[in-house]
Amino acid sequence: MLFRASLVQQAKTVSHFQKAVLTIGDYLIYVSLALVTVLVLEQLHRGAPWIDLVQFALILIVASIPVAMPAVLSMTMAVGAVALSKRKAIVTRLESIEEMASMDVLCSDKTGTLTQNILTLGEVEIFDADDEQTVLLAAALASRAENGDAIDEAVLEGLKDKSSLTAFHQTAFVPFDPVHKRTEATIQDTSGGTFQVTKGAPQVIMQMVGLSGAEQARAEQVVNAFAAKGYRALGAARKNSSDTAWTFLGILSLFDPPREDSAQTIEEALNYGVSVKMVTGDNVAIAQQIAAKLGLGSNILKADALPVEDDGKDHEESMETVEKADGFAEVFPEHKFAIVKILESRNHICGMTGDGVNDAPALKQADVGIAVSGATDAARAASDLVLSAPGLSVIVRAIEEARRIFERMNAYAIYRISETIRIMLFVVLAMVSFDFYPITAVMIIMLAFFNDVPIMTIAYDRTGLAKNPVRCDRNSVGGG
């Protein structure tokens, strides 16, 4: 937990929008200083009163500085944020709108985002249990209905005789977390005897019970067979109070069907130049099965394929492999953080979805951190965008709106640059060529004011929708 807290502190992003605004401001100041220098030198050469000349030059420079630019652009983004909220996407950081418009890679959770998160119970493979219901009873005792967890609900729903649960009392419960990947409960029966039950990721349960040899090979084969059908596997085990070792009871299969709109939404995202990479804690076979149904591609990497930082090795090839991957399986929260860092280092504007406390580092590090519907408070706090409706379609609609907002901001930036240069060139050329003041200092200030106030209505302009990610090209406005 301390490690993940340190990742949150390490996660830092600087808005490309903020960089662009500063660059535009610097560029206009440099142009203004150059033109004013020419003006002052020329007028001093002609013997103009230097006090009046310096006063006029300072006012000219101040008027050329785009002081209203942050206000106009912030208003444009604020109006856009209201429009995004109507599309079920709540903006927590205004600058993230520009990042959303520039985003070219989206790393998306599988469960609940690409899939329905409505699990149904499938086949049950028995190991050291008497029958399927014994396996289900143990898994049900390691669940809590009041938590509203999709896995717990599926297990409890699959238990035929739900009245059998009344013979047991749960005295302690350890909830599921992304690190340990299992739940555990201490149970007391009607005779006062106690025992423990657990359910979770099969590889975790198999390791915990010490499964080996033929039994381990069989368990792995069962898990792979379920995964090939797109089913998630869930291991269940039990330990009596008098025992020191756990007993592996069996493996349950759960199916989480893809959302009906996921495939179409992913196709829309690709048409907008945004590649979608699936990120899941499930094994590779399940990820490949779901990815195939959604048209994502089959190049799914295991989390251990990610390069390790600070090990002294050249990871250029590994980083390129990550960049070209269609998704990642068996990931932990720190893997999400690493994926974002790698993609950003490859000059991608990266979005990352998440819902839990452990996702906070990756959400904060991403250019666009997206807390999905039902996310924890910690995930929302670390995110730039909070979705109030499930599914990937909300994100695609947000991308569309963000690109329209970006076009409005871009139009204003172009207007402000051209307007400043036009006024400066007009004043300087008039004074240098004809030796007269074409405009007074007060008129310059008033002109700048009345130019910028009406342009705020640009926040409501109708704009086209760019088909590819858009970025503020700082190099096109003076370098930097």
Q: What is the set of active-site residues?
A: 109
Contact (Cβ atoms closer than 8 angstroms) between residue 352 and residue 327:
no
**28: amino acid identity, one letter:** L
In whole angstroms, how far apart are CA 185 and each of 142, 179, 182, 227?
A: 5, 17, 10, 27
Indicate the burial class of 401 (C-beta count within 10 angstroms; 0-12, 13-18, 19 or more).
buried
**Contacts of 398 by beta carbon, 8 Å cutoff, 6+ apart:** 84, 87, 89, 100, 385
CA atoms of 422 and 430, how far apart (whole Å)? 12
Separation of first and last alpha carbons in the chain = 39
CA atoms of 60 and 220, how far apart (whole Å)? 76
CA atoms of 403 and 406, how far apart (whole Å)? 5
Chain centroid to CA 254: 27
Tokens coding 218: 């069989």
Contact (Cβ atoms closer than 8 angstroms) between residue 16 and residue 349:
yes
Among candidates 152, 144, 71, which has minimal Cα distance to 119?
152
**280: amino acid identity, one letter:** T
Among candidates 284, 254, 235, 274, which has minimal Cα distance to 115?
254
Among candidates 106, 101, 70, which has minimal Cα distance to 471?
101
Chain centroid to CA 467: 21
- Segments of 311-460 assigned E as strands: 327-329, 350-354, 368-371, 385-387
